[in-house]
Amino acid sequence: MPNQIMIFLLDTLLSLFSLALLLRFYVQWSRVPYYHPFTRFLVAVTDFVVRPARRVIPSWRGLDLSTFVLAWLAQFIILVSINLLGGFGAGSSMFAFALLALVKLASMTLNILLIAIIVQAVLSWISPNTPLAPVLESFTGPVLGPIRRYIPPIANFDLSPIFAFILLQVLMMVVENLQRQIIHMF
């Protein structure tokens, strides 16, 4: 019972922290304004660990790799600690945990995109001028833009979120299959 509680707390807290780090990485990558409340929240939550990490992990071509590496590290710690606290022992490969942590980040990225597309579609009907709209557009633009080029709006109805949703679901299936293969390989 105490191990289950520890696993739950570690998984929940580190997953939320990893999500915040990953969102910060994507906010910086998509050039969301620094003074947007969403950006300020992510900076406030993660800055205590990102600032020191930037001294060790440099940026690369405008990408803040320190936040991405920290998100990966949080996922890695979750996997290792669940393995140890779950009583599976240390026999599992650290390389497998490293790969699984990357796959988890890919899965989180797909979930972020999926949720952003759904929220953006709903807000476009309810309140299209919400302050969250620019943030959502910067997240979903790279996915929806190419789809909109091939599938233009029909009678002012944008079908690109539907096709993006289908594409993201297929990618999620691929990532889940990859995760299963990595688990069975090691």
Q: What is the mean pLDDT of residues 87-114?
A: 86
Sheet strands (E) in 31-181: none
**Is residue 127 pLDDT above 70, yes or no?**
yes
Q: DSSP label at 88?
A: -
pLDDT grade, residue 88 (50/70/90)? low
pLDDT grade, residue 157 (50/70/90)? confident
| Residue that wins the pLDDT comparison between 111 and 93 | 111
**Secondary structure (3-state) at 63:** strand
pLDDT of amino acid 89: 57
Residue type, 58: P
Interatomic CA distance for residues 41 and 21, integer angstroms: 11
| Residue that wins the pLDDT comparison between 148 and 91 | 148
Tokens 């944008």 belong to: 158
- Tell me: the pLDDT tens digits for 23-65? 999 999 888 888 888 899 999 999 999 999 999 998 888 888 9
**Is residue 73 pLDDT above 90, yes or no?**
yes
